[in-house]
A and B are shown apart, each in its own frame.
Chain A
Amino acid sequence: MKTQMLAAFVGLALLLAPSASQADQSSEQIYGVYCVQCHGLQRNGTGINVPALSVKPRDHTDAKGMGDTPDDELFKAIKEGGLAVNKSVLMPTWGHVLSENQIKGLVKYLRQVCKCGK
């Protein structure tokens, strides 16, 4: 009885508390819809649109390059586009499509992808 109660309690707790991995998954899904078209399935700047791009998209697995870019710059680049951070116009503005929280989630996700922090 005690074990059942405990199992039920743990199950309920798991259901109620959105775990960190769920939050990550959602950012990963968002990356998969919007970012993959240029940054690629491997997240290294080799998306399906790359042959048509005059500027290579950022390699998000590049720990050095990504490590040198602070969170607020990543946030600004996603929200306002490449031009806002003196980069290419080919990086569009996603501020109309994604909420600030979703963009913050993406910045966090990028840190996981590059295994680097700033």
Chain B
Amino acid sequence: MKGLLLAVAGLTAALLSSASAADKLDPSCSGCHALVKPTDTSLDRLLTRKGPDLWFAGSKFKKEWLVSWLQDPKPIRPAGYPYFKTVKKGDKNDVPDPSKIAAHPKLKKADAEAAAETLMALKAPADLVPAGIFKGEMKGARMGSLAFVKFRGCVACHQGEKGEGGLSGPRLTDAGARLQADFIAAYTADPQRFDPHIWMPTSNLKDQDIQRLTAFLVQLSQGDK
């Protein structure tokens, strides 16, 4: 019973601390991004969302990258977000519709640093992004590259090496500079644990695949060049 009380108190404290951390951000951030884990997990929420959830930002991003990107925000999702609202019919295939893709606000250095600090405090629960889930074995990167492009088909939706790849998912050309390795591994294994209806499939990957793909992705740091 005492343990249960402690657990409830701990959970409440964790929720309150992430809520108060989120309060420090400019209120306009929460207009597009969920800064606290949403209670509404319906498909309708996905359909009306304007930007990716950030309630686990502190376990997802690298702080240096956030500080730099917030001052010069280049699109991470080349087709807009959510892609299904920002594409139009093209001559040969659907194409991004720039008139529907809103630019992310640009922050001044001090504001970017403050926002990054606050975002880094928004941590995912330890069981969502377990520390050390990526074992750090970089030898698998080459096989990871083959899995990404060929065997697992990630390239269908994500741009990887040399910017080659599909557009409906975030570009991963700079995944290593932008994302924490443990996040890449945890998210790739089961995106719906983070975001119940997200349009990235869960591919029943074996841990070996996850390790190799993560090793490959953490090496990518070329940005959108």
Contact = CB atoms under 8 A, between A and B. Distances in A.
A80 B190 CA distance: 16
Interface residues of B, number: 37
Interface string B84-116: 100111101111100000000000000000000
B42 to A, nearest CB: 12
B217 interface: no
Interface in A1-42: 29-30, 32-34, 36-38, 40-42
Nearest to A32: B84
Interface residues of A, number: 28
A36 B84 contact: yes
Contacts of A96: 190, 192, 201-202, 204
Contacts of A51: 93, 166
Interface string A43-58: 0001111111100000
A46 B95 CA distance: 10
Nearest to B80: A48
Given A37-B84, A41-B88, A52-B164, A47 B201 contact: no
Interface of A: 29-30, 32-34, 36-38, 40-42, 46-53, 81, 88-90, 92-94, 96-97
B199 A34 contact: yes
B201 A97 contact: yes
A48 B156 contact: no
Contacts of B168: 37-38, 47-49
Interface of B: 43, 46-47, 79, 82-84, 87-90, 92-96, 151-153, 155-157, 159, 164-168, 190, 192, 197-199, 201-204
A33 B201 contact: no
* Most chain B CB atoms below 10 A, which of A30, A38, A52, A94: A52
Contacts, number: 98
Nearest to B160: A52
21 contacts: A29-B47, A30-B43, A33-B46, A33-B84, A37-B168, A41-B94, A47-B94, A48-B94, A49-B157, A50-B92, A50-B94, A51-B93, A52-B155, A52-B156, A52-B157, A52-B159, A81-B201, A93-B202, A96-B192, A96-B201, A96-B204
Given A41-B89, A51-B93, A97 B47 contact: no
Contacts of B94: 36, 40-41, 46-48, 50
Given A33-B84, A37-B157, A48 B152 contact: no
B87 A41 contact: yes
A46 to B, nearest CB: 4
Contact of B203 (A32, A34, A47, A93): A93
Nearest to A52: B166
B79 A48 contact: yes
Given A33-B46, A38-B156, A42-B89, A48 B95 contact: yes
Contacts of A81: 201, 203
